[in-house]
Amino acid sequence: MFLAQIPGPSRPFLSGLHDWLSPADDARPVDLLFVLAGRMGRKDYALQLFLEGLAPKLLFSVARFEIRRFSKMALPVPLDLLKLAQDVPPPERHFFVLFQGSDFRVQHVPPQRFGTLTEIASLARWLSANPEIRSLILISGATHLRRIQMCCRTLLPRGVNVALLSVPDTFSDSADQHSSAIQTVASDLLEFTKVSVYWAMLRLLPRFSTAGLKTRDGTTGTQDGQSNPRSRVPLRLILLGVAFLFGGETFCLLGPMRYERIVHFSCHAVFYAGVAFVCLGGIIHWATKHRP
């Protein structure tokens, strides 16, 4: 629990949190470079590594609002993705674009609610269809890597060697480079909340890796046909508790200084309510798993 109103990012816990969220590896030759959707700096960096010969194949994940800018990049092969996407309804526009030598291939990826989870699940299906890929590097923002790592360990095929690479500051957007300390702290706390949510989904509902995600034949993967609504109760309680935990901490960080006592009391009340929800969800989950 943070006790100071506005702690600086140099505090040991906050500095350690940022480092923990960023488990980056070193660049090394692999069979495939995979770039998650998001800021264009990721794509520029991956394109440079590809042109330097780090991998013979480069796979971009391109979301709806990136298509126009992606088509204007200095790609290995000229590609007007905006033209190719015209037949796809705007909310459904998400594509994998593969470059290999002088060839390219575009594959539609139906978007789902959780973007990163959907991308890694779609990558898992792509790797299953391309078993010659035995090693790859995933490229994204630094603090995004912990959540990606969790998804990869759960969803990607066994035997595929995965490395995580963060985008250097020289390729980052100017807004990222000039973000304030408090913005960095808030961003790290938000990402940690997302990590907690993903952990709960992947741990408590392992079938989420297939349920609700469209397979290559267009069907929806499920297990056991129907899901039991009661099995969602622990997950919802834990997610609610996580939201309360970090909601309380965020209010403690950003609350008005002139009402210090009110802020202090409120953030503690919300925080411990979150602890109670998480404990209750864990108890219900344990009781359900150990029911005779």
* 169 and 65 fall within a common domain: yes
CATH of residue 78: 3.40.50
**Rounded Cα–Cα distance for residues 128 and 98 (Å):** 15
pTM: 0.69
Q: Is the pLDDT of residue 224 over 50?
A: no
Q: Is 2 contained in some domain? A: no
Q: Is the pLDDT of residue 30 over 80?
A: yes
What is the rounded average pLDDT of the residues 5-31?
73
- What's the pLDDT at 258? 56
Domain extent for 186: 180-289
- What's the pLDDT at 227? 44
Q: List, for residues 134-147, the tens digit of each pLDDT value.
A: 999 999 998 899 99
Q: In which band, very low, low, confident or very high, does the pLDDT at 255 lie, cut at 50, 70 and 90?
A: low
DSSP class of residue 167 equals P
Give the number of domains in the chain: 2
Instruction: Quote the mean pLDDT of the chain.
Output: 77
Q: Is the pLDDT of residue 220 over 50?
A: no
* 189 and 104 fall within a common domain: no
Place of tokens 């500095």: 15
Domain final residue pick, 158, 177, 196: 177
* Helix, coil or strand: residue 226: coil
Q: In which band, very low, low, confident or very high, does the pLDDT at 221 lie, cut at 50, 70 and 90?
A: very low
Domain final residue pick, 177, 197, 219: 177
* 134 and 74 fall within a common domain: yes
Domain final residue pick, 120, 153, 177: 177
Q: In which band, very low, low, confident or very high, does the pLDDT at 257 lie, cut at 50, 70 and 90?
A: low
* 212 and 169 fall within a common domain: no
**Rounded Cα–Cα distance for residues 95 and 15 (Å):** 36
* 148 and 26 fall within a common domain: yes
